[in-house]
Amino acid sequence: MHFHYLDQAFTASEGDIVLLDCKEKNNYSVTEETEFQFIHFTGKDTQDLYNEIYQRNGCVFKLPSDQNNIPTILSLLASKKEIDFNISLEIYQLLGNLLESTRNTFESRDANMNKVPPEIQTALAYINENFSSKITIDKLSELSNLSSSHFCRTFKKYMGTSPYQYILNYRLNQAKNLLVQTNLSVEQISEDCGFYGIGHFIKAFSKSTGGMTPGKFRKVCF
């Protein structure tokens, strides 16, 4: 999976753990069928732990199987028993393991991060600020001072996907956030996220979620 987070691009491979602060803008894309699971959590001291872990190592980790307790966390989450305390213990244990794995690796972050060139960063910033409006390759190329073909090649090299797919994924991610965090109608969210029609939005959304419509996604997440 290819990620763009805090003006950095990086790739996660099979078995990797990716730790992100969900309050920061982020985007991800894939170039082939991919299965992944995510856990959203908060709690006392988690922000401080995250900050320390990120400062030392960035976002991508590999843990030996005896230290990776994510399967246990997922199993507890799937259980219908009242085990919030157990889940909290496991999550803090995972964060502790991640922190321990970063010992003496303060200089290793750049090894897992691909520096995005300024011209592509300019395009990314424009997309992030204008995703609700029409965005053309010509405009992005102009901002980047590159020809359209050169821009598309360079963008895909660093972001792992085409500009069109990146924009689509970004809009879909923003739409998912609005579906969960607001009471806006599906039609309004479609418009606010830059889709040119409700039909286009529903089709693209369903394709990205394995057939789940925006309305169903909202019900499941709530």
Q: What CATH number has the domain bearing residue 140?
A: 1.10.10.60
Give dist(CA 169, CA 25) in Å, integer: 13
Phi, psi of 4, rounded to the nearest 5 degrees: -130, 120
| Token digits of residue 56 | 């030392």
Give dist(CA 50, CA 138) in Å, integer: 39
For residues 98 and 123, membership in a common domain is answered with no
For residues 17 and 104, membership in a common domain is answered with yes
Phi, psi of 27, rounded to the nearest 5 degrees: -145, 145
- One-letter amino acid at 192 equals D
- Which residue numbers in the chain have pLDDT < 50? 106-113
- Domain-terminating residue out of 62, 79, 112: 112
CA dihedral defined by 85, 86, 87, 93, rounded to 10 degrees?
A: 110
19 Cβ partners below 8 Å, 6+ apart?
50, 53, 54, 59, 61, 98
Is the overall model pTM greater than 0.85, yes or no?
no
Mind listing the pLDDT tens digit for each residue in 154-195?
A: 999 888 889 999 999 899 888 988 887 889 999 999 999 999
For residues 6 and 54, membership in a common domain is answered with yes
pLDDT value, residue 221 = 57
For residues 89 and 144, membership in a common domain is answered with no
pLDDT value, residue 81 = 62
For residues 74 and 148, membership in a common domain is answered with no
For residues 138 and 217, membership in a common domain is answered with yes
Residue 167: how many other CB atoms lie within 10 Å: 20
For residues 91 and 140, membership in a common domain is answered with no
Which stretches of 74-154 are assigned E, i.e. beta strand?
113-114
For residues 30 and 50, membership in a common domain is answered with yes
What DSSP state is assigned to residue 103?
A: T
For residues 129 and 162, membership in a common domain is answered with yes
Parent domain of 146: 117-221
For residues 170 and 129, membership in a common domain is answered with yes
- How far from 56 is each of 49, 53, 110, 190, CA to CA, in Å? 11, 5, 11, 39
pLDDT value, residue 111 = 43
CB 17 within 8 A of CB 126: no
- Domain-terminating residue out of 112, 133, 163: 112
- Domain-terminating residue out of 112, 139, 159: 112
pLDDT value, residue 82 = 53
Give dist(CA 211, CA 204) in Å, integer: 10
Name the domain count of the chain. 2
**3-state secondary structure at position 203:** helix
For residues 84 and 9, membership in a common domain is answered with yes
For residues 89 and 69, membership in a common domain is answered with yes
